[in-house]
Amino acid sequence: MNILSSSGEEGVCVEMTMVCLNDFEEYAKQHLSKATWDYYEAGADDCCTRDDNLEAYKRIRLRPRILRDVSINDMRTSVLGMEISFPVGIAPTGFHCLAWHEGELATARATETVNTCYIASTYSTCSVEEIAAAAPNGYRWFQLYLYRDRKLSEQIVSRVEALGYKALVLTVDVPYTGKRRNDIRNQFKLPPHLMVKNFEGMFQEQAGSQEEYGIPANTLDPSISWKDVYWLQSLTRLPIIIKGILTKEDAELAIEHGVQGIIVSNHGGRQLDGVPATIDCLPEIVDAVQGRVEVYMDGGIRTGNDVLKAIALGAKCVFIGRPAIWGLAYKGEEGVREILQILHDEFRLSMALSGCRNVAEINRNLIQFSRL
């Protein structure tokens, strides 16, 4: 995990070791175009929630147990009954081809190799068919938006079910797109050679109309409501996971409507600014759910310690978004693997130093909230 940079009088290449996820972030910032970097890093409005997703982990302390014989560590867990190598998966993020020419194909192959879960985004620059073909044995879910034209949603649900995707992740916090100031300043658009591949050819009749992140503006349906969960269940036998819940009230409603999982998420701080960090919302939702469905979380995961804290507070698995993009920008499939390997190794070390021999031993007794 080294990068080469030129330094010295004669431009001698010096190896810089990639030790942690922040190293990949710095590499991506230096090598991606400004508009692309701003798109990936964007938060809504003042970016308070985006930043608090990171800061919140620093307010949580660990209470390690000692003399526990941690010579053997088992990091395996399961999501929806499928065993994965450790409780970190890839969150749905758009436009991977902006970061690496193979885009989502590289991401899918990396997660297949590591044996964890990849949530493919509706806003992929590779199609669901191409992703499935690139990693035929990978464990994949599909993240779904609902559109004013429900046939668009129906068609893609049918496609992913036929392709062997194992769950639908319904994103519910985007009735309208949040105000991402730098994207507006940059007039962000996909370059001409890229598109939202899952909808290729579906919007030809609207050519020339105003676009928002690769599809015609006003395509998302702001009237989405709980009744649409029932509608979605009528289309598919796939389990439905709701992404974007931040309150116990909505967690209860999700269970009442028969979902199989909840992802505690504030969309990486890209939607409503001023909501709490996801790690701060997690305990309330876990307590409300009481084990009736699995609870997952995304937002702000940067170290193995962060993973440990989230699992201790009740998350079954966490999902990373921006770090996967940094890995792609660094070295494509290999870069994503390295990001996952670093988190894997850091999580194993954090577990051992906390006295946890397997994931089942990680619980809230490990956590202390800072008084600062």
Q: Check: CB of residue 34 under 8 Å from CB of residue 41.
A: no
Q: What are 147's strand-pairing partners?
A: 220
Q: Check: CB of residue 87 under 8 Å from CB of residue 359.
A: yes
3-state secondary structure of 228: helix
Residue of 278, 228, 282 lying closest to 258 (CA atoms): 228
Q: Where do the H-state alpha helices sit in 267-321?
A: 278-289, 304-312
Q: Check: CB of residue 145 under 8 Å from CB of residue 122.
A: yes
Query: What is the C-alpha separation between 264 and 172, in angstroms, rounded?
Result: 11
CB atoms inside a 10 Å sphere around CB 46: 12
Query: What is the C-alpha separation between 311 and 324, in angstroms, rounded?
Result: 20
Query: What is the C-alpha separation between 77 and 86, in angstroms, rounded?
Result: 6
Query: What is the C-alpha separation between 310 and 295, in angstroms, rounded?
Result: 11
Please report the beta strands in 110-205, taking only residues with DSSP state E, as ranges in sequence order: 117-120, 139-144, 168-171
101 is catalytic: no
Query: What is the C-alpha separation between 337 and 330, in angstroms, rounded?
Result: 11
Query: What is the C-alpha separation between 211 and 264, in angstroms, rounded?
Result: 29
Query: What is the C-alpha separation between 250 and 125, in angstroms, rounded?
Result: 32
Query: What is the C-alpha separation between 162 and 156, in angstroms, rounded?
Result: 10
Q: Which of 31, 257, 267, 344 is catalytic?
A: 267
Residues with catalytic function: 267
